């Protein structure tokens, strides 16, 4: 797997899909069996420079004494921490990595979401170490940036990140089942989420597009803005004439603020708004023309019908200093909003696009304009985080607003829902402020609350709820012959014989396709499951690791008390019996 370095060293790479002798999580283990003194010397000379580069440009932190001689241990300890750092930089929930010496052989272990990405991370670092001073900074950045594109596609997104953080704090089983689908807890205590929406929510026939939202608001008597639905440019202009200025134009079936133009005041603006909306109408071609509601956008988050919090987003803006152009001011803001959204507090860079240029033009500016000291200019007509907006939390939501919102949430019957409301005063009732409910969101916008400072573990815990938990899970490690005997005589309720056989109430099912870890996850997602036995041959657990760290009891057969098994058990908080 480290073939590009085959001429530099001999490395044996192993993938463990669960707890192993080195760590408790799925990990890739690199045994550096042969490495020349010359190559080791190159790595020792170059690692400080690479560590400083990562620290200066990306915020990496690694403690080492520059006054002392750099030794082999320093290099491998750097590799372990730097690998986790670059793996988590744009997305990731990886924690475990380290370095040990096993029988005189340096061993590096690094947790993974996808093993190929962890291998690639170590590979990149080794290549950079071997290049030493020959490497140019822009080339290093290019390599890392391309790698982070892969991590962004392959690692858990920020919706899952909140729930994973909570699962870790509560010591819950969690596993990715398919793309953005995650299992938390086990069996009868489990819950499956797509991002932060439960599978049950997605299967319900409750629609939350903009038109369906209007119908729900009207059904419960919640105040909402007047609107018309159109399908072409002529209908749009006629609808704007009826609704009047100012107004808003929105694609009916888009989300995340895509294609939305608000506070439209002229027919020239209507043409631009139509072009933006058409990009996101899809097959329906439906566009909503809505009366403009003055004020700020607020997102009210409800879980299981109960109010959780209120956040409000602000359109991206810059404030002049009397010296720099608007483009330079945007670049200054973006310099603090890196690809590492954890460090950037989930705030995205402001992309200079047609929407920004149009918003400036309406105000009489362009990107070359130098603003006066303290002068504030808004850069977009919508406030979404994806466009560079920011957000904050609000606590003084008027009880009339909350009562309407609670009726909406309970009418929907969803596990989670985000309800959008616009008003000039969130502390005043709609009858006084003129505030209106505007949209519903099955994906309630976790990043919006995280960017406002809502505690991530608390939010994830609220999404999971109190009923998600683990069940009794027992692991039996026997010799292969005994596993085969038990397969034919097993009389328990439910068992998985690794790698690919399920026994349920005496019925045997062989699963030919798929990875054994996915098989275990599928079984643990069964809401009827009260407990589970997992049976594995000694050779299997030594090669691939234990199936999970959330084991109640490990039963070890005769002659299976090997060093590898015992060292793995030492890392787990479970009971041990010898059978």
The tens digit of pLDDT for each residue in 161-186 reads: 999 999 999 999 999 999 899 999 99
Give me the pLDDT at residue 4, please: 42
Average pLDDT, integer, range 463-486: 97
What CA–CA distance (Å, rounded) separates 249 from 359?
15
How far is the CA of 404 from the CAs of 415, 443, 449, 470, in angstroms?
18, 20, 21, 37
pLDDT surpassing 70 at residue 367: yes
pLDDT surpassing 60 at residue 557: yes
Give me the pLDDT at residue 443, please: 86
Residue with tokens 């590096």: 108
* Residues sharing a CB contact under 8 Å with residue 215, sequence separation 6 or more, in sequence order: none
Give me the pLDDT at residue 133, please: 54
Name the average pLDDT for the chain.
92
Beta pairing class for 287-291 and 247-251: antiparallel
* Residues sharing a CB contact under 8 Å with residue 491, sequence separation 6 or more, in sequence order: 506
User: Which two three-digit tokens encode residue 463?
Assistant: 């999404």
Average pLDDT, integer, range 120-129: 94
pLDDT surpassing 70 at residue 305: yes
pLDDT surpassing 80 at residue 223: yes
Give me the pLDDT at residue 405, please: 98
261 forms beta bridges with 249
Beta pairing class for 494-497 and 531-537: parallel
Give me the pLDDT at residue 221, please: 97
User: Which two three-digit tokens encode residue 533?
Assistant: 């036995």
What CA–CA distance (Å, rounded) separates 570 from 578?
15
Whether residue 499 is preceded by a cis peptide bond, meaning omega within 30 degrees of 0, is: yes
What CA–CA distance (Å, rounded) separates 472 from 551?
8
Among 134-143, 229-238, 239-248, 395-404, name the one with the lowest average pLDDT: 134-143
pLDDT surpassing 80 at residue 3: no
Give me the pLDDT at residue 135, please: 58
Residue with tokens 């749009």: 236
Give me the pLDDT at residue 300, please: 97
HSE (side-chain half, CA atoms, 13 Å) at 52: 9
Give me the pLDDT at residue 1, please: 47
Average pLDDT, integer, range 547-559: 96
pLDDT surpassing 60 at residue 298: yes
Give me the pLDDT at residue 63, please: 73
Give me the pLDDT at residue 558, please: 87
Confidence of residue 227 (pLDDT cuts 50, 70, 90): very high
Give me the pLDDT at residue 572, please: 95
Among 36-45, 99-108, 306-315, 527-536, name the one with the lowest average pLDDT: 36-45
pLDDT surpassing 90 at residue 148: yes
Q: Which residue has the higher pLDDT, 271 or 530?
A: 530
Confidence of residue 206 (pLDDT cuts 50, 70, 90): confident
Average pLDDT, integer, range 516-527: 96
DSSP letter, residue 368? T
Confidence of residue 321 (pLDDT cuts 50, 70, 90): very high
Among 182-186, 255-259, 326-330, 549-553, name the one with the lowest average pLDDT: 255-259
Contact present, 551 and 473 (Cβ < 8 Å): yes
User: Which two three-digit tokens encode residue 163?
Assistant: 């729930």
HSE (side-chain half, CA atoms, 13 Å) at 122: 31
Confidence of residue 343 (pLDDT cuts 50, 70, 90): confident
Q: Give the burial class of 62: count Cβ atoms within 10 A of its Cβ; 0-12 exposed, 13-18 middle, 19 or more buried.
A: middle
pLDDT surpassing 90 at residue 5: no
* Residues sharing a CB contact under 8 Å with residue 143, sequence separation 6 or more, in sequence order: 124, 128
Torsion of CA 490, 496, 497, 499, to 10 degrees: 170
Contact present, 162 and 451 (Cβ < 8 Å): no
pLDDT surpassing 80 at residue 43: yes
Give me the pLDDT at residue 137, please: 80
Average pLDDT, integer, range 403-429: 96
Give me the pLDDT at residue 45, please: 85
- In the chain, pLDDT over 70 holds for what percent of residues? 97
* Residues sharing a CB contact under 8 Å with residue 303, sequence separation 6 or more, in sequence order: 415, 416, 462, 463, 465
Among 72-76, 332-336, 380-384, name the one with the lowest average pLDDT: 380-384
Average pLDDT, integer, range 356-372: 95
Range 310-344 burial, b when 16+ CB lie within 10 A, else e: bbbbebbbbebeeeebbeebbeebbeebbbebbee
Give me the pLDDT at residue 382, please: 78
How far is the CA of 122 from the CAs of 1, 29, 38, 116, in angstroms?
11, 11, 20, 10
Average pLDDT, integer, range 55-60: 92
């Amino acid at each position: 797997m480290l073939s590009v370095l085959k001429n530099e060293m001999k490395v044996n790479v192993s993938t463990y899909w669960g707890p192993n002798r080195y760590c408790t999580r799925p990990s890739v283990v690199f045994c550096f069996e042969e490495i020349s003194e010359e190559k080791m010397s190159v790595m020792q000379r170059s690692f400080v420079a690479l560590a400083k580069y990562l620290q200066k440009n990306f915020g990496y932190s690694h403690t080492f004494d520059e006054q002392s001689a750099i030794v082999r241990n320093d290099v491998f300890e750097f590799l372990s921490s730097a690998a986790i750092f670059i793996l988590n930089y744009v997305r990731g929930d990886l924690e475990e990595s380290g370095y040990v010496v096993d029988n005189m052989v340096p061993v590096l272990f690094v947790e993974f979401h996808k093993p190929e990405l962890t291998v690639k991370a170590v590979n990149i670092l080794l290549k950079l170490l071997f290049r030493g001073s020959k490497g140019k900074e822009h080339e290093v950045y290019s390599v890392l940036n391309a790698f982070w594109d892969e991590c962004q596609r392959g690692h858990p997104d920020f919706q899952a990140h909140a729930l994973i953080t909570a699962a870790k704090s509560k010591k819950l089983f969690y596993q990715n089942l398919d793309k953005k689908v995650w299992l938390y807890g086990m069996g009868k205590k489990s819950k499956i989420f797509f991002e932060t929406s439960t599978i049950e929510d997605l299967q319900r026939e409750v629609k939350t597009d903009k038109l369906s939202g209007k119908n729900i608001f009207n059904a419960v008597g919640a105040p909402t803005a007047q609107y018309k639905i159109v399908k072409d440019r002529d209908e749009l202009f006629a609808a704007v004439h009826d609704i009047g200025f100012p107004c808003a134009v929105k694609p009916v079936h888009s989300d995340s603020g895509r294609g939305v133009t608000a506070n439209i005041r002229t027919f020239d603006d209507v043409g631009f708004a139509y072009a933006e909306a058409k990009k996101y109408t899809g097959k329906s071609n439906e566009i909503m023309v809505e009366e403009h509601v003055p004020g700020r956008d607020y997102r009210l988050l409800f879980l299981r019908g109960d109010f959780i919090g209120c956040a409000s987003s602000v359109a991206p803006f810059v404030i002049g200093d009397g010296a720099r152009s608007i483009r330079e001011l945007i670049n200054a803001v973006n310099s603090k909003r890196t690809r590492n959204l954890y460090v950037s507090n989930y705030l995205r860079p402001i992309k200079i696009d047609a929407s920004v240029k149009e918003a400036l033009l309406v105000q009489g500016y362009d990107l070359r304009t130098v603003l006066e000291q303290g002068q504030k200019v808004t850069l977009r007509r919508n406030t979404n985080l994806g466009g560079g907006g920011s957000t904050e939390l609000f606590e003084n939501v008027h009880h009339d607003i909350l009562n309407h919102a609670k009726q909406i949430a309970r009418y929907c019957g969803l596990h989670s829902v985000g309800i959008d409301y616009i008003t000039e005063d969130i502390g005043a009732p709609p009858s006084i402020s003129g505030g209106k409910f505007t949209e519903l969101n099955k994906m309630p916008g976790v990043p919006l609350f995280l960017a406002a400072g809502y505690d991530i573990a608390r939010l994830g815990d609220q999404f999971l709820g109190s009923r998600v938990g683990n069940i009794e899970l027992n692991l039996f490690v026997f010799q292969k012959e005994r596993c085969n005997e038990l397969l034919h005589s097993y009389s328990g309720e439910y068992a998985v014989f690794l790698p690919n056989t399920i026994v349920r109430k005496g019925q045997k099912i062989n699963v030919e396709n798929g990875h054994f870890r996915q098989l275990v996850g599928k079984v643990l997602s069964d809401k009827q499951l009260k407990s589970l036995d997992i049976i594995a041959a000694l050779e299997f657990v030594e090669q691939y690791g234990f199936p999970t760290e959330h084991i109640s009891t490990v039963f070890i057969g005769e002659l299976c008390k090997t060093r590898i098994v015992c060292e793995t058990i030492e890392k787990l908080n479970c009971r041990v019996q010898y059978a």
